[in-house]
């Protein structure tokens, strides 16, 4: 985090007169200068690494536990089943994780305030029911139906937010009531035991169709170039204004890692992954992936670059301080619940898209706990004030990997419940312990 | 309160002045005909025992409480004050005892909280960081290592420094500090007192509410002592001793200073 403002390597001050002539001498000087720059950057990197270790020791672990968990799960499942680490299954995993990631991304907003939304799962189910009915019964086109579903979600969030922020009822109780009450919506509209087919070409296609390979590559390259340009431009601005900044080498390493991940995933999913490659060609990113990435970019921008995001963190960190600073705490809370339920509606629609139907039980299972687990595993604190949109995506991948791998291993479903419950508890423990360490170390 | 007129001679015109302010909460009459003045470039210490009315007076100045009677003057003009926003608009900032900082945000974010600078719809982090550094530098603050540190990692003195710098950032005219050294160690108290002095040297009017007589005698130019909701004395700090202040606080009277007939002073 902390780096001295002056980062440029010490430059040689030899005047041109006493420079020895000749190619070898010039070459030696250039090499020496390059070495000096490298040595300087390396020492900055070491210092940065030390700061990072200090933060880790102080309990500020971010997404690290989730990444480690993901690696462990991948290693275990790869050893346990030879079909786990195939491109076919990886594409499956992406589709399975999508709705959890989106639901968790919405929950991050509520968790940032130190609140909880237990009704997000069933709010998604209710919204998906509205969307499905709009298409099947009313014949609306998909995007109007999606807007209707999201509208329902946002209204649910508005109601919850007003009850929490204005009446002061604990969000746990309000959303528990909504969790129970909202299950009535699909049950009444669909009827018990029934289900609505969710086979709109576009919406169902989100899960079963893929982005063309060429388009996927173009998008990947645009994203990588955009990220690199933005990082370098921001670094340059900070250096030129003499502000706090990361060492150049760290920026480059980050760009390299980002590029590796994006290109790697694109390459993996661009290969033909059909079980019988001679008969079929299944390749390209599933359509849900760009949807999740777009939501991730949008919410990351909102959280980190806008006044609303800054105020959200402030209210989560110290609501009284935020109030004294003139921030409308009530409004921030209501909006956070609206975002959460609105995102839950999208998650419900993605989930319906994956299963191809909406039934009265949609969203009432352990979707919500999966999503809370995803956000917390990813590094969002249950105590408020800490969390990012990317946490939800990383955590969502971890959570989705568990049923995916266990399903391949043909385990009874009770194992799945046990493992997921255990992972959620583990994540919450890591959160609580790191919070204690944070307050002790003051990071 | 005849001594008020005497000591006021030779001092600049007050920046902010309260005249004959009364404030009651139900049957409890907390402030009795209180006169209070803040001068530019001076530290005015507000001292008094628990329940003497220091915090009430500070909240009346801050606009959090209304007045039952009495005048509120700013730069000699009578102003109407309906709430904290009116007072903030005058350039009066209050640094509360329980620091109003968000632990999860960094120093710059905290200093601009609620008044973030923007470029279009995005936050202008570069401008905010530059301005925060400038403000800290103008106050000669060297204790805060990086302005991008989270506030949770700061010591009590550093946090107090950030809270004060936050109040100064907006070109305020008056800063009211409520017990700024109450929870600090020796070295940190030192830092904060130096900063308080520097604020006054920058021409701001500073009100220091404190229990600690050493702090008060060290930095204050004027001392206003409250006793049971009345002004017991309003004197230049040079003219009183430690013992006299303690007597004013505890008995409302010290020699020829203080309330004439203490026995009639009741709540």
The full set of domain ranges for chain B reads 3-91+172-264, 96-170
Predicted confidence band of residue A40 (pLDDT cuts 50, 70, 90): confident
In percent, how much of chain A has pLDDT > 70?
A: 94
From the CA of B264, how many Å to the nearest CA of chain A? Answer: 39
- Candidates B98, B99, B114; nearest CB to A325: B114
Highest averaged pLDDT of the listed ranges A185-199, B119-133, B149-163: B119-133
Contact: B146, A325; criterion CB under 8 Å: no
- Candidates A243, A316, A327; nearest CB to B114: A327
| CB count in 10 Å sphere of residue B191 | 20
Residue A243, pLDDT score: 84
Residue B263, pLDDT score: 62
Among candidate residues A399, A398, A379, the one with its CA nearest the CA of residue A388 = A379
From the CA of B12, how many Å to the nearest CA of chain A? Answer: 32
> How much is the average pLDDT of A2-22?
51
Residue-wise pLDDT tens digits, A284-313? 889 999 999 999 999 999 999 999 999 999
Cα–Cα distance for residue pair A1/A24, rounded to 1 Å: 41
**CB < 8 Å to A322, chain B:** 102, 113-114
Pair of tokens at residue B43? 């530290």
Query: Does pLDDT of B1 surpass 90?
Result: no
Query: Does pLDDT of B5 surpass 80?
Result: no
Residue A338, pLDDT score: 97
Give yes or no for a contact between A393 and A101, defined as CB atoms under 8 angstroms apart. yes
Cα–Cα distance for residue pair B7/B17, rounded to 1 Å: 15
Cα–Cα separations (whole angstroms), residue A102 to A147, A209, A308, A370, A395: 16, 19, 20, 11, 11
Q: In a mutagenesis test of the A interface, which of B101, B102, B129 is the best target, namely the one with the most A β-carbons within 10 Å?
A: B102
**CB < 8 Å to B114, chain A:** 311, 314, 322, 325-327
Contact: B102, A318; criterion CB under 8 Å: yes
ipTM: 0.82
Residue A403, pLDDT score: 86
In chain A, which residues touch B (CB < 8 A)?
1-2, 237-238, 241, 243-244, 305-307, 310-311, 313-314, 316-318, 320-322, 324-327, 385-386, 438-439, 442-443
- Sequence-separated (6 or more) residues with CB below 8 Å from residue B187: B157
> How much is the average pLDDT of A193-222?
89
More confident site: B117 or A16: B117
Query: Does pLDDT of A245 surpass 50?
Result: yes
**CB < 8 Å to A305, chain B:** 122-123
Residue A441, pLDDT score: 61
Nearest-Cα residue of chain B relative to residue A237: B126
From the CA of A304, how many Å to the nearest CA of chain B? Answer: 9
Pair of tokens at residue A399? 């959570």
Among candidate residues B145, B156, B157, the one with its CA nearest the CA of residue B190 = B157
Query: Does pLDDT of A173 surpass 50?
Result: yes
- Candidates A244, A310, A322; nearest CB to B148: A244
- Candidates B114, B148, B150; nearest CB to A326: B114
**CB < 8 Å to B85, chain A:** 326
Residue A8, pLDDT score: 47
Residue B10, pLDDT score: 53
Predicted confidence band of residue B2 (pLDDT cuts 50, 70, 90): very low
Cα–Cα distance for residue pair A99/A110, rounded to 1 Å: 17
Predicted confidence band of residue A6 (pLDDT cuts 50, 70, 90): very low
Residue B50: alpha-carbon gap to chain centroid: 17
- Candidates B105, B146, B149; nearest CB to A317: B105
DSSP A45-81: HHHHHHHHHHHHHTT--TTHHHHHHHHHHHHHHHHH-
Residue for token pair 């719809």: B121
Instruction: Mark out the alpha helices in A113-212 (DSSP H runs).
Output: 120-136, 142-162, 171-182, 184-190, 201-208
Residue A4, pLDDT score: 45
Pair of tokens at residue B219? 């930095």
- Candidates A310, A324, A327; nearest CB to B123: A310
Cα–Cα distance for residue pair A126/A154, rounded to 1 Å: 12
Query: Does pLDDT of A405 surpass 80?
Result: yes
- Candidates B103, B104, B148; nearest CB to A1: B148
Instruction: Mark out the alpha helices in B29-96 (DSSP H runs).
Output: 54-62, 84-90
Cα–Cα distance for residue pair B124/B146, rounded to 1 Å: 18
From the CA of A101, how many Å to the nearest CA of chain B? Answer: 24
Among candidate residues B49, B99, B89, B60, the one with its CA nearest the CA of residue B228 = B49
Chain-wide mean pLDDT for chain A? 87
Query: Does pLDDT of B167 surpass 80?
Result: yes
Residue A299, pLDDT score: 97
Cα–Cα separations (whole angstroms), residue A222 to A301, B1, B68: 17, 76, 66
pTM: 0.85
Residue-wise pLDDT tens digits, A307-323? 999 999 999 999 988 88
Predicted confidence band of residue A20 (pLDDT cuts 50, 70, 90): low
DSSP A165: I
Task: Give the CB-side neighbour count of residue A256, counting CA atoms within 13 A.
Answer: 6
- Candidates B113, B150, B154; nearest CB to A314: B113
Pair of tokens at residue A125? 């189910």
From the CA of B148, how many Å to the nearest CA of chain A? Answer: 7
**CB < 8 Å to A385, chain B:** 102-104
Nearest-Cα residue of chain A relative to residue B113: A325
Contact: A310, B129; criterion CB under 8 Å: no
What's domain B3-91+172-264's superfamily in CATH?
P-loop containing nucleotide triphosphate hydrolases (3.40.50.300)
**CB < 8 Å to A382, chain B:** none
Residue B256, pLDDT score: 74
**CB < 8 Å to B146, chain A:** 1-2, 244
Contact: B100, A443; criterion CB under 8 Å: no
**CB < 8 Å to A243, chain B:** 126, 129-130, 133
Residue B182, pLDDT score: 81
- Candidates A1, A324, A325; nearest CB to B149: A1
**CB < 8 Å to B126, chain A:** 237-238, 241, 243
Cα–Cα separations (whole angstroms), residue A217 to A258, A298, B186: 15, 21, 62
Residue A47, pLDDT score: 84
Contact: A443, B153; criterion CB under 8 Å: yes
Query: Does pLDDT of A336 surpass 80?
Result: yes
> How much is the average pLDDT of A268-279?
82
Cα–Cα distance for residue pair B164/B145, rounded to 1 Å: 16
Query: Does pLDDT of A394 surpass 60?
Result: yes
Query: Does pLDDT of A147 surpass 90?
Result: yes
Residue-wise pLDDT tens digits, A45-82? 888 888 888 877 777 777 788 888 889 999 999 999 88
Residue B11: alpha-carbon gap to chain centroid: 19
Residue for token pair 């900032």: B93
**C-beta contacts of B237-246 below 8 A and 24+ residues apart:** B237/B45, B239/B7, B242/B213, B242/B214, B242/B217, B245/B47, B245/B213, B245/B216, B245/B217, B246/B213
Cα–Cα separations (whole angstroms), residue B171 to A16, A437, B92, B132, B205: 50, 38, 9, 12, 12
> How much is the average pLDDT of A80-95?
89
Q: In a mutagenesis test of the B interface, which of A241, A243, A245 is the best target, namely the one with the most B β-carbons within 10 Å?
A: A243
Give yes or no for a contact between A315 and A405, defined as CB atoms under 8 angstroms apart. no
Residue B11, pLDDT score: 63
Residue B115, pLDDT score: 86
Cα–Cα distance for residue pair A385/A175, rounded to 1 Å: 20
More confident site: B45 or B50: B45
Among candidate residues A141, A60, A97, A109, the one with its CA nearest the CA of residue A334 = A109
Predicted confidence band of residue B265 (pLDDT cuts 50, 70, 90): low
Give yes or no for a contact between A269 and A93, defined as CB atoms under 8 angstroms apart. no
Query: Does pLDDT of A16 surpass 70?
Result: no
**CB < 8 Å to A238, chain B:** 126
Contact: B152, A243; criterion CB under 8 Å: no
In this predicted structure, which of A15-24, A361-370, B170-179 has the lowest mean pLDDT? Answer: A15-24
Residue B209, pLDDT score: 92
- Candidates B101, B152, B154; nearest CB to A321: B101
DSSP A383: T
Cα–Cα separations (whole angstroms), residue B64 to A326, B55, B83, B169: 13, 11, 6, 21
**CB < 8 Å to B167, chain A:** none
More confident site: B112 or B263: B112
Give yes or no for a contact between B74 and B16, defined as CB atoms under 8 angstroms apart. yes
Among candidate residues B49, B14, B54, the one with its CA nearest the CA of residue B34 = B54
DSSP A409: T
In percent, how much of chain A has pLDDT > 90?
A: 47
Residue-wise pLDDT tens digits, A181-198? 999 988 889 888 888 888
From the CA of B150, how many Å to the nearest CA of chain A? Answer: 7
φ, ψ at B34 (rounded to 5°): -85, 130
Residue B43, pLDDT score: 94
- Candidates A306, A317, A320; nearest CB to B104: A317
Contact: A2, B148; criterion CB under 8 Å: yes
């Amino acid at each position: 985090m902390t780096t001295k403002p002056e980062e440029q390597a010490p430059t040689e001050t030899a005047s041109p007169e006493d420079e020895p002539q000749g190619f070898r001498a010039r070459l030696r000087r250039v090499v020496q200068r390059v070495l000096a720059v490298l040595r300087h950057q390396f020492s900055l990197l070491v210092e940065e690494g030390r700061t990072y270790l200090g933060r880790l020791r102080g309990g500020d672990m971010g997404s690290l536990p989730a990444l480690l968990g993901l690696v462990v799960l991948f290693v275990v499942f790869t050893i346990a089943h030879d079909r786990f680490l195939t491109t076919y299954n990886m594409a499956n995993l992406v589709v399975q994780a999508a709705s959890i990631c989106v639901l968790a991304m919405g929950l991050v907003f509520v968790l940032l305030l130190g609140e909880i939304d237990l009704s997000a799962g069933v709010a998604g189910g209710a919204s998906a029911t509205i969307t499905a009915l709009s298409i099947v019964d009313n014949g609306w086109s998909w995007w109007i139906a999606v807007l209707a579903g999201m509208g329902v979600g946002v209204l649910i969030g508005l109601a919850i937010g007003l009850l929490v922020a204005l009446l002061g009822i604990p969000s746990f109780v309000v959303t528990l009531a909504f969790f129970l009450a909202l299950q009535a919506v699909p049950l009444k509209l669909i009827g018990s035991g029934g289900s609505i087919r969710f086979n709109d070409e576009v919406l169902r296609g989100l899960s079963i169709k893929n982005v063309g390979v060429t388009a996927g590559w173009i998008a990947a390259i645009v994203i990588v170039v955009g990220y690199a340009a933005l990082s370098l431009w921001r670094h340059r601005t900070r250096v030129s204004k003499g502000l706090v900044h990361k060492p150049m080498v760290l920026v480059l390493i980050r760009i390299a890692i980002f590029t590796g991940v994006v290109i790697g995933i694109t390459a993996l999913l661009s290969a033909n992954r059909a079980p019988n490659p001679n008969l079929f060609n299944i390749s390209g990113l599933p359509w849900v992936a760009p949807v999740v990435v777009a939501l991730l970019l949008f919410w990351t921008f909102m959280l980190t670059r806008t006044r609303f995001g800054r105020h959200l963190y402030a209210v989560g960190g110290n609501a009284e301080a935020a109030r004294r600073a003139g921030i409308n705490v009530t409004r921030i809370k209501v909006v956070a619940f609206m975002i959460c339920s609105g995102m839950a509606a999208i998650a419900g629609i993605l989930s319906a898209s994956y299963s191809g139907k909406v039934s009265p039980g949609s969203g009432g299972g352990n979707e919500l706990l999966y999503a809370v687990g995803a956000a917390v595993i990813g590094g969002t604190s249950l105590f408020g004030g800490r969390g990012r949109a990317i946490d939800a995506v990383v955590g969502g991948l971890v959570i989705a990997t568990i049923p995916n791998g266990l399903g391949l291993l043909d385990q009874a479903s009770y194992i799945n419940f046990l493992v997921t419950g255990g992972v959620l508890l583990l994540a919450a423990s890591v959160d609580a312990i790191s919070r204690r360490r944070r307050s002790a170390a003051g990071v | 309160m005849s001594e008020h007129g005497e000591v006021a001679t030779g001092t600049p015109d007050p920046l902010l002045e309260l005249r004959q302010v009364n404030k009651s909460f139900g049957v409890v009459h907390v402030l009795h005909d209180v006169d209070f003045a803040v001068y530019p470039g001076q530290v005015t210490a507000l001292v008094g025992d628990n329940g003497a009315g220091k915090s009430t007076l500070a909240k009346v100045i801050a606009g959090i409480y209304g007045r039952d009677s009495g005048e509120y003057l700013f730069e000699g003009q009578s102003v109407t004050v309906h709430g904290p926003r009116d007072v903030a608009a005058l350039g009066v900032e209050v640094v509360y005892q329980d620091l109003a900082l968000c632990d999860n945000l960094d120093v710059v974010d905290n200093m601009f909280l609620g008044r973030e600078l923007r470029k279009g719809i995005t936050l202008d982090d570069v401008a905010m960081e530059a301005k925060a550094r400038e403000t800290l530098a103008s106050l000669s603050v060297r204790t805060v290592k990086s302005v991008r540190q989270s506030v949770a990692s700061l010591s009590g003195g550093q946090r107090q420094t950030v809270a004060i710098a936050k109040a100064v950032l907006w070109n305020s005219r008056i800063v009211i500090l409520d017990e700024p050294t109450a929870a600090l160690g020796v070295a940190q108290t030192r830092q904060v007192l130096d900063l308080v002095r520097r604020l006054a040297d920058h021409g701001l009017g500073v009100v220091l509410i404190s229990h600690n007589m050493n702090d008060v005698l060290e930095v204050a130019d004027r001392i206003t002592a409250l006793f049971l909701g009345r002004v017991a004395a309003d004197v230049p700090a040079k003219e009183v001793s430690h013992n006299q202040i303690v007597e004013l606080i505890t008995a409302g009277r010290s020699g020829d200073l203080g309330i004439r007939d203490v026995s009639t002073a009741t709540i």
